Amino acid sequence: MITDYRSPPSRLMNAHESLANELNTFFTRFKATSRSANANGAYANSANGAISALNGACAEPTIEQHPLIITERDVRRVFKRVNTRKAAGPDGTCGKVLKACADQLAPISTDIFNPSLTLGIVPSSFKCSTIVPVLKKSRPSGLNDYCPVALTSVVMKL
């Protein structure tokens, strides 16, 4: 018996790596490279100059508006009811962990959610996603035969 034997990398492995790189390029072709504010305060995508934010679409908050506040109890209840069959996103946190550790995670998560709701800012880690190519056909003939599915953070889905 031969120990620590490893076969050399196969051509099939190189083909998979090549396909992964091609899909990455294909799916990220619409990604904005950078954004810059114009004179009106709207953001323009520097890649194609299209306006990506609407000026005046949202009313400024008034004194009569009350900030949305959530409690630890609310967060704990939602965590305990999370769908454990949902795929984990780029943070690797699966629904089973949220459900099993709801009592421990509720105080910490509440401390993250409330400032986010008050300021109207979503933490950047919640904005990331993992793109998984899913075949549309049983025999793919091109990159258009794959459908990109974005896996976002389970916490963000709540």
Q: How far apart are CA 76 and CA 115, in angstroms?
A: 17
- Whether 146 is covered by a domain: the verdict is yes
Long-range pairs of 97-100 with CB within 8 A, sequence gap ≥ 24 = 98/154, 98/155
- Whether 95 is covered by a domain: the verdict is yes
- Whether 40 is covered by a domain: the verdict is no
When divided into structural domains, the chain yields a total of 1
- Whether 90 is covered by a domain: the verdict is yes
- Whether 72 is covered by a domain: the verdict is yes
- Whether 93 is covered by a domain: the verdict is yes
- Whether 57 is covered by a domain: the verdict is no
- Whether 132 is covered by a domain: the verdict is yes
For residue 21, the model assigns a pLDDT of 83
> Which residues make Cβ contacts (< 8 Å) with residue 128, sequence separation at least 6?
89, 90, 91, 152, 153
Determine contact, residues 117/67, Cβ cutoff 8 Å.
yes
Residue 86: name the closest of 78, 77, 95 by CA.
95
Q: Which stretches of the chain drop beneath a pLDDT of 70?
A: 1-14, 30-66
Question: Strand 43-45 relative to strand 146-152: parallel, antiparallel, unpaired?
Answer: unpaired
- The residue range of the domain holding 136 is 66-158
DSSP string, 84-142: TTSPP-TT---HHHHHHTHHHHHHHHHHHHHHHHHHT---GGGG-EEEEEEESSSS--S
**DSSP letter, residue 65:** -
Answer whether 0.75 is exceeded by the pTM: no
For residue 112, the model assigns a pLDDT of 92
